[in-house]
Each structure stands twice: as structure tokens, then as C-alpha cells.
Chains A and B, each alone.
Chain A
Amino acid sequence: MPKRGVISALLTAIGVVLLINFKTPSQQGFAAFNRQTVTGTTNTDGTASAGGTPPPTATVPPTAAATPTTKTITGPAISYFFGTAQVQVTLENGKITDVTAVQLPNEGQSAWISQQVAPILRSEVLSAQSAQINLISGATYTSAAYRQSLQAALDQARA
């Protein structure tokens, strides 16, 4: 049961990132950045909120237009019963090129599970290439959380 709990929470954390945190470069208009790190925060109730976003003060080096735009987003640290999960996503020109776990449960059985699960999560996210999702198939809308995520994704898509 603990195993299932850890994995579920991790996947859920990924899902939150997928549904809420990503914006395509054109939507954020971050062409002025060569590299930027955005760090999210976690509220005590476990919900994620964007925070600590650095002001867009970076200037464009003369050569920036010729180099690919790389962006690293660190998702909110999601605390749950077995520890804390936090992922970092790297985007190049709006496409996800890497996903790494910044924090995963690191004690006992949970640590072993983290080692097993992290690569699976990484491949899932990379295959999903979720810079943006317009809509979701297969939902039955039974959970309030799902509705919230869906609405957030929809709102974001139109922002």
C-alpha cells in the first residue's frame, strides 16, 4: 500500500505540473530570456501556487536570437505522507527536453521506489511533450480536483 501511495502522489505531482504549470514560449513571451528559472511554492494544504518568479529583467545578448531558447521550470514541491516530490522540467523552444526529480522521498522503502519510479515518470512526461494540452479525453469528471485541473488548463490555454 505504501508503494502505491508514493507512486500515486508522484504521478499526481507530475500531473499537476502537466496541467497547470506549463505555458508555451509564445504565450509567455519570454523570448527576451536566454535562460530562466521559475520556482513554485507549496501551500500548507498541498495545493500549488506560482511564486518566486523572477522579474523579466534579463537583456538579450546580441547572439541570443541565433541560439535555442532554453527554459528550466522547477515545479512546486508537493508534500505528502511519504515525503516530498518536486520535479524540474527543461524546455527548449517550448518543447520538453528533460525532466528530473529535484526531490523524492529518500528514506527506506520509499527511496527504493523513488529510484524505480523516477525513470518511468521521466519517459512518460517526455513522451507526452506537454508544453500545452488543449483538452482531455477519458475523463468522467467525478472528482472535484479533476475539474479544477481541467479548468486551470483551459484557462491557461486561453491566457
Chain B
Amino acid sequence: MRRSTLLVVLTVIVIVAIVITWIHLHGGIGVLQTTPTVSPLASLRVGTTMTIRTDSIFTDYYFSVLCSSLVFEKIVVVDEKGGIKPWLATEWEVKDNGMVWIFKIADNATWHDGKKLTAHDVAFSINYFMSKVPIYKRHLALIEEAKVINDYTISIKLKKPWARFLYNLAVVRIIPKHIWENVEDPFKYEGEDRNIGAGPFVYVGFDRATGVLRFKAYSNYWKGRPKIDEVVVKIYKTMDAAILALKRGDVDTIWHYARGIDPIYVPVLLENPNIHFIIKPNFGVGNILWFNNKIYPYNITEFRVAISYALSYSDYVRMIMAGYADIPNAGLVPPGWKYFKETRKLETNTSKAIEILEKLGFEDIDGDGWRELPNGTKFTMKIIVRSDIPGNVRLAELVKRDLENIGLQVKLIPVDLQTFIEIVDRKRSHECFISRTTTWGMLMWAGYGTGYIDARNIGWANVDDPELQKIVDELLVTTNEEKISELAYKLQDLYAEKLYVIPLYWDKIIQPYNAAKISGLKYSPMMGIFYKKTWVSINIIKGRE
């Protein structure tokens, strides 16, 4: 190439480079915008990857989740152990065999606009959500009516006795009657006062261009003004970016519900000595090998037990969870639950697995290397794998190898969430699949995962064992704590004995935060560090940006 052409090329490159740099220096486009940093306030900066588009709790799911912790109050809250603690409802009593619940409401709570919060607001909120918001219709379908007894007492009558009712109530955000009673369609309401709540923080605003939401402390919060001045939520497009922001100190913690972060990020964060981790056992089960208990041969208990001996749990912990997990017990329910029982730990014993299989009649008759069914027909386990959960497919591969190790032929079928729901939920046509449970799901029905197991509810395991149903039915109506604990222990023993499903690992939640700056974080399995109690105890070293 001659000099002149080279010159032309270089000039072009330089021009382009200048243009790009110029764009950046002038704010860039979106991701390159520099957000104002230093502020004299004690502010908690939270990084998240939840996408938030509008600031209405009715139309934007993630905004609603944020606000349910920061801006609005709840009647009761789910605590660290998955139990229920009083909140706006300071005490309650149950009458008429679990049909009528009477709640006393705190008398010193106020709205952000100054007005007092009364039982009228509470009853109103319940009725409003029930009638206007589809999801709540289901949650609150049990309620026949919510009545105001006096300014600080309400009574709720149910259609049938339901001991777990408080869990349904725990999702209701209390909204001000004086604002919403005239709003016909909450999904379209754009009034300035749509985010007035009684929570520890007042909603300030949402800068969509930079993806930043601001909340400032409410000085008249009924539990006492939070010790921090503001909460700033920064939205990142990818988890990688959020993690890096935490490492560099641009945010003080990362939040995505109670999920914590993926273990693969831990080594990166460890490079910053200020970053500490809250490590808690997950309330849900990290991953489970599910069986459709109504289909042969998965309805044979010994078959399921045999499989449980073939799985190499320690490998799963090591490879998939990078060590941030434990080998589960046969009782399914992870430690941390209120009435957790230490059932036997699941064990890897390939010879035992083979022994049981042979005793059941699963032998390789035609010599192709795979075991046939006792009646001689060819057998392939079809395992559905949710491909939307990262790492799930890899785990499935390990499970497949373990099963092939004892002579069972396996086919993995990766599906997306929609197809998964179609097969497992609507048609219940699955044989086995690999998926996790969520905390909320575990609390459904009679709690302790019964919703997932019992065919009458979510029913992924499709079990209609009368032994199980007996325990569940009692749990659904008992409010006596001692009886509940007794039933919970019996339930876990039953799980361990029958192994309707096989838990693969009990993962740990890894919640990172900047310990040099924050203290007093509290964690609940439902909301993670956005647990209501955090706002009462959190503390920040001022001005450390």
C-alpha cells in the first residue's frame, strides 16, 4: 500500500475515534451516561437487573415488588424462618373454627401525605385488590368479606376454615382509601399521589434515561425514621455489569428478590475485601428430580429409592453450585424452616441402587446395555429439563450420566418455561423432570412443599397418596402450633420414606454487600434483604461513596 492510501485510512480511523470519544464526553448514549455520584446523604445504593418501565405498582411488576418493601406497608410479614410476624396488624385472634379473623391495627401509622392510617384503609385495600387486580382475586378468593369493626380493628370472614390464611394476607399492600376510593381503573391511574404509602420511604422519582429510582426516608414512619436518608436503585442491563459495579463500589449491594447471586460471581467479588456475604440456606429446594407419581414405573416407591442411590450428590454440589450448597436430606424441606426435621441424608451407593433395581426385575435381557422393564419392554427415562434456568441443562447431563451408570437409558428433553408449564402443569403428561421450587411455592397449600407434591394443588409430583393427603388436610385447618409442628415432622418423615421426588441439592443463597459501608441488614426468604425489618435496623457510614 502506498503512503497516500495509508494516510487516508489512518485519517478515517482517527476521525471515527474522535467522534466516538466526543459522544462519550457528552454523556454518551444510555449505558455510557455518568450518573451523579457523591451525595452528602447516607444513601443505600442498590444494583439490580430487574427491568422497570413505569412507576405504577399496578402496571409494573418489579416496581410493585420494590415498593411493597420500601413504600407500602403490609398487614403481616413473612419472617426469617418462613413464619408470620405481626406488622400493621399488631395482634389477631381467630374465631369460629378458623372462619373469622379479627385483627388489631397499629394506631400510630401515617400516610406520606400526613393522614392517619386506619382500619378503613386496611379493609379498603383488601376489597380493592380483590375486585380490581386479577392476581389478588385468587389469593384472596377465600375472603367472604372484610369489615371494619372500629378505627383500628377489622374482621375478616372466610368462606371456609383456612389455617394458612395469613400467608395470603401477607401479599396485600395497604393503599390509602382517600386516594384510591375514587379511582375506577388503577391500571390507568396517573395521579401524582399514586405512590403514597405508609412505608419507611417516600417515592421520589424515576429517571428512565439513567435507570435510577430514588426513595427518601419518611421521617414520620411509625416504626421510627430509618437511620439512612435514602435508597437509590440502579438498574443494570446485565448481571455481569451489576456485579462489577458492586465490586468497584458504585453500588453497595445487589438485589433480586431473595435469590442472591450465582456462585460463579463469588471469585470476582472476593477481590474486593470490603464485600461480605450473607449466606443463608435457600427456603426453596435448589433443584429436584421430579417424578410423575401416577405413571409406571415411577409410581413404585422402591424404584424411586433405587434412583436416589444412584445420584452423585457431592458432584452436583461441587460442579453446579461451586460448593455453595449441601447434600440434601430425604425429607426434602431445607433447614431454616420453622419445623425442619433432620431426616436421613441422601446417600450415593451405586451397588445398592443396582441391587434394588435387579430385585424389582429391571434387567438387561436383550444385552443392549440398558435395563428393560420387568415385563421385558424397552425402557427410556424421558427427563424434561427447563432450559430457562441457567446451569439446569448441565445438571441434567450429570444426572443422566449417573442414571446411565446403573444401566438406565435416559433422554433429556430441554424445554422453555412456556412448554414446561404446558406439559407439567396443564397436561400433567410428564414422566420426570428437573426443576427447582420457589420459596413462595413451598409456602403454598399446606406449606412445606405440599403444594408441589399433592396432586390436588400445583401437583408437579402428581401424588394422590391417602397418607399424604391426611396430613395435608389437617395442616390446612390447624392453627395450633404444637399440632402443626407434629404434622410437619410427620410430613418430612413421609417424604423421606416415600421419596416422591428426589432433591438434588440444597443450595445456599449468597447475598453480597459492602460491609465497610452497610450494617444491620436482615434477610427473609421472601424478600431477601428488602425484608421489612431491614429498614428498621439498617445503618450506613455516611458519605462513603
Are the chains A and B members of one assembly?
no
